[in-house]
């Protein structure tokens, strides 16, 4: 299973040739792609009307992992560690990274500079 960060989906929306996206490449190798409920929210609030049907169809075919109490505990640890190191990142990225850590799965992202700061997070590059 691979957790997709919002950046992977945003690239998919923006590029006309979907075959030249990270999502397309990953879906050709892995059939078990998923997203965090945080990513579902981020895409939902930022979604343009022109992408509405595309997003609904795509999200119906992706497993959405819940951000639950265990994810919250992991996020607290991640936040604390980043604060100590003075390497804070966006809260949504902490939540998404914590989801990957909690479920013990790698994350695919185009935002390496943020997620690289989360200790023990496996990032597909």
Q: Flag whether pLDDT at 79 surpasses 90.
A: yes
- pTM here is 0.92
Pair of tokens at residue 123:
């990032």
What band does 44 get if pLDDT is binned at 50, 70 and 90? confident
Residues 68-96, mean pLDDT to the nearest whole number: 98
Quote the distance between the C-alpha of residue 68 and its chain's center: 16
Report pLDDT digits (tens) over 16-25. 999 999 999 9
Q: In what order do the strands lie in the sheet with 63-65?
A: 63-65, 33-36, 2-4, 107-108, 123-124
Domain range annotation of the chain: 2-124
Q: How far apart are CA 100 and CA 40, in angstroms?
A: 14
Q: Flag whether pLDDT at 73 surpasses 80.
A: yes
At 41 the pLDDT is 93
H-helix or E-strand containing 65? strand 63-65
CATH number of 2-124: 3.40.50.1010
């Amino acid at each position: 299973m691979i957790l997709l960060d919002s950046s992977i989906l945003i690239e998919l929306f923006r590029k006309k040739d979907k075959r030249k996206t990270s999502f397309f490449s990953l879906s050709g190798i892995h059939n078990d792609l998923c997203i965090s409920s945080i990513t579902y929210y981020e895409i939902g609030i930022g979604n343009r009307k022109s992408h509405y049907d595309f997003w609904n169809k795509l999200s119906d075919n992706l497993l959405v992992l819940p951000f639950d109490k265990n994810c919250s505990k992991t996020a607290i640890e991640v936040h604390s560690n980043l604060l100590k190191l003075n390497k804070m990142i966006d809260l949504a990225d902490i939540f998404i990274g914590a989801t990957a850590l909690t479920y013990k799965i790698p994350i695919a992202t185009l935002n390496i500079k943020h997620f690289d700061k989360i200790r023990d997070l496996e990032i597909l590059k």
